[in-house]
Amino acid sequence: MSVELNLLVWSAVLALAYVLVQSTAYRLDYGLWYAGSQRDNERVPNKWTARGNRALRNFLETYGVFIALAVATELSGRSDALTQWGAQIWFWARWAYLPAYFIDVPLMRSGIWFISLIGLILLFAGVAF
């Protein structure tokens, strides 16, 4: 199995981590009873729940691109150092991004996001050219 495909498989665990953090923050904020309801008339979430929501949404915005590029790399047989580095950079940066979203260090979260973007660009360049 290629590095890219292996990271694609492990990205399911990454996605689950984002969902678990978001859903745990939501349940701690709103309570189990409300979380199990239809959530009509939802109030404004606290800052931790809002951060969990934004972190998950941000992850999902790039996850589809990673999936497409990892699959394209595998199907085209174009796995090389560039695509492998790109996939690893994206994967590990996205792991770092999750706790960074909850830590108040100026520009750290954005810097990690930018590093993950570089990973996607490398992956794209390796498979497209």
Rounded mean pLDDT of 44-72?
97
The pTM assigned to this predicted structure is 0.92
Measured CA to CA, the distance from residue 33 to residue 113 in angstroms comes to 34
Rounded mean pLDDT of 118-128?
97
Measured CA to CA, the distance from residue 38 to residue 123 in angstroms comes to 40
- Structure confidence at residue 101 as a pLDDT band (50, 70, 90): very high
How does pLDDT run across 23-40, given as a tens digit for each residue? Answer: 999 999 998 888 788 888
Range of the domain at 19: 3-128
Per-residue pLDDT, 81: 97
Q: The domain spanning residue 40 has which CATH number? A: 1.20.120.550
Q: Are 94 and 116 in contact (CB under 8 A)?
A: yes
Output the average pLDDT for the chain: 95
Per-residue pLDDT, 106: 85
CA-wise closest residue to 91 among 19, 5, 14, 18: 14
Q: Which amino acid, residue 11?
A: S
Q: How many structural domains is the chain composed of?
A: 1
Q: Are 55 and 98 in contact (CB under 8 A)?
A: yes
